């Protein structure tokens, strides 16, 4: 019996699978995947040699539901047939109440919102328990997601905000990265050099935030010389309303998460 059956090996499922495999969850008795798309099954098997990837459930202690919100009912039925006593769902917006209604009575449900940097062990996840899930079940979910990054515990009502911030957040950062690279090219840099500098700048800024514990405004002030280049650049960003655009982006994504749940 597998310890964990991942249902859905798409972009988020594979990010979690890849992170778990890298963290040592490689053996068949630990991890199995069920994926309905044959081409995805081939891709997963090629990317993770030895991983058990099939088109139907295998008996499992627990299931990780990583399908689109509209496919959650089918995935829950599958988790029930696999005999999973614990179900961890990452489907945006889908509430623990909806999941519990689709699962055998008494199934311990934990709803989570991870993000794709889990693939490289730098994921950010939040988790919330359903009615039948106790502290042990939350600890279990935190251990699974903790293998691929950081985990915070929140009331379920806050998971839509988490989705808008860190679930969707990598996409906002990638958009910023695209713009930075194009801006370097616009100003005469070769694209490979511009990409290398942009990526390392994002990595370095994130590391400073994480490792110094300083407020972002303090770190920003340290870059901003009086009358200098950064002040000129920041003025352009503020004039373009970047701060308000970020507030709107997170709020729009959180609202969409609420709609998906409804
Ligand atoms: N992509 C992301 O950054 C994040 C996604 N999520 C959530 O993860 C879930 C999956 O999203 P993605 O991976 O982006 O979608 P995706 O479409 O890439 O992956 C879903 C996979 O599930 C498979 N599938 C569908 N029904 C199935 C079934 N009954 N049994 C087995 N496999 C089945 C599909 O063939 C597909 O490969 C969604 O609910 C989304 O809200 C959560 C956090 C971040
Ligand atoms: O775009 C989505 O709906 C999913 C949920 C969070 C990130 N991707």
240 in the same domain as 111: no
Q: Residue whose CA is closest, atom 3 of ligand 2?
A: 92
Output the pLDDT for position 190: 98
| 60 lies in some domain | yes
Number of other residues whose CB lies within 10 A of the CB of residue 148: 28
Work out which ligand 2 atom sits closest to the CA atom of 12: 8
CATH number for the domain harbouring residue 26: 3.40.50.720
Burial class (CB within 10 angstroms; exposed 0-12, middle 13-18, buried 19+) of 197: middle
**Whether the CB of 125 sits within 6 Å of ligand 2:** no
CB burial readout 45-84, b (16+ within 10 A) else e: beebeebbbeeebbebebbbbbbebebbeebbebbbebbb
155 in the same domain as 175: no
113 is in an annotated binding site: no
Domain with 65, as residue range(s), is 2-159
177 in the same domain as 148: no
**Whether the CB of 123 sits within 6 Å of ligand 1:** no
**Whether the CB of 47 sits within 6 Å of ligand 1:** no
Per-residue pLDDT of the chain (262 residues; tens, 9 = 90+): 779 999 999 999 999 999 899 888 878 789 999 999 999 999 999 999 989 999 999 999 999 999 999 999 999 999 999 999 999 999 999 999 999 999 999 999 999 999 999 999 999 999 999 999 999 999 999 999 999 999 999 999 999 999 999 999 999 999 999 999 999 999 999 999 999 999 999 999 999 999 999 999 999 999 999 999 999 999 999 999 999 999 999 999 999 999 987 6
Dist. CA 227 → ligand 1 center (Å): 49
ipTM (interface pTM) = 0.98
Task: Say what the pTM is.
Answer: 0.95
206 in the same domain as 98: no
167 is in an annotated binding site: no
Radius of gyration, alpha carbons of the chain: 21
Domain end point (choices 159, 179, 212): 159
Output the pLDDT for position 26: 76
How far is residue 262 from each of residues 2, 3, 166, measured CA to CA in Å?
33, 32, 21
| 226 lies in some domain | yes
| 164 lies in some domain | no
CATH number for the domain harbouring residue 192: 1.10.3730.10
141 in the same domain as 24: yes
186 in the same domain as 228: yes
144 in the same domain as 249: no
Are 154 and 145 a contacting pair, CB within 8 Å?
Answer: no
CB burial readout 18-40, b (16+ within 10 A) else e: bbbbbeebeeeeebbbbbbeeeb
Work out which ligand 2 atom sits closest to the CA atom of 163: 6
72 in the same domain as 155: yes
Output the pLDDT for position 90: 97
**Whether the CB of 43 sits within 6 Å of ligand 1:** no
67 is in an annotated binding site: yes
Are 48 and 21 a contacting pair, CB within 8 Å?
Answer: yes
Domain count for the chain: 2
| Nearest-angstrom CA–CA distance, 81 and 101 | 15
Dist. CA 162 → ligand 1 center (Å): 18
């Amino acid at each position: 019996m597998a310890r964990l059956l991942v249902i859905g090996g798409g972009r988020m499922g594979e990010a979690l699978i890849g992170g778990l495999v890298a963290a040592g969850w490689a053996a068949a008795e630990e991890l199995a995947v069920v994926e309905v798309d044959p081409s995805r099954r081939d891709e997963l098997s090629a990317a993770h040699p030895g991983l058990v990837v099939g088109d139907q459930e295998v008996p499992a202690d627990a299931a990780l539901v990583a399908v689109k919100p509209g496919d959650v009912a089918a995935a829950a039925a599958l988790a029930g047939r696999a005999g999973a006593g614990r179900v961890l769902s990452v489907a945006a917006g889908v509430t623990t109440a909806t999941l519990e209604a689709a699962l055998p009575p008494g199934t311990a449900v934990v709803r989570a919102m991870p993000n794709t940097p889990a693939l490289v062990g730098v994921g950010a996840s939040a988790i919330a328990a359903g009615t039948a899930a106790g502290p042990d079940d939350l600890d279990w979910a935190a251990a699974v997601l903790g293998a691929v990054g950081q985990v915070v515990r929140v009331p379920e009502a806050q998971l839509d905000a988490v989705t808008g911030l860190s679930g969707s957040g990598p996409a906002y950062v990638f958009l910023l990265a695209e713009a930075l690279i194009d801006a370097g090219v616009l100003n005469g840099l070769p694209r490979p050099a511009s990409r290398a500098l942009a990526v390392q700048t994002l990595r370095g800024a994130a590391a400073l935030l994480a490792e110094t514990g300083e407020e972002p405004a303090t770190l920003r002030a340290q870059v901003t010389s009086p009358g200098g280049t950064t002040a000129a650049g920041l003025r352009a960003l503020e004039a373009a309303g970047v701060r308000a655009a970020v507030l709107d982006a997170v709020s729009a994504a959180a609202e969409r998460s609420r709609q998906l749940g409804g």
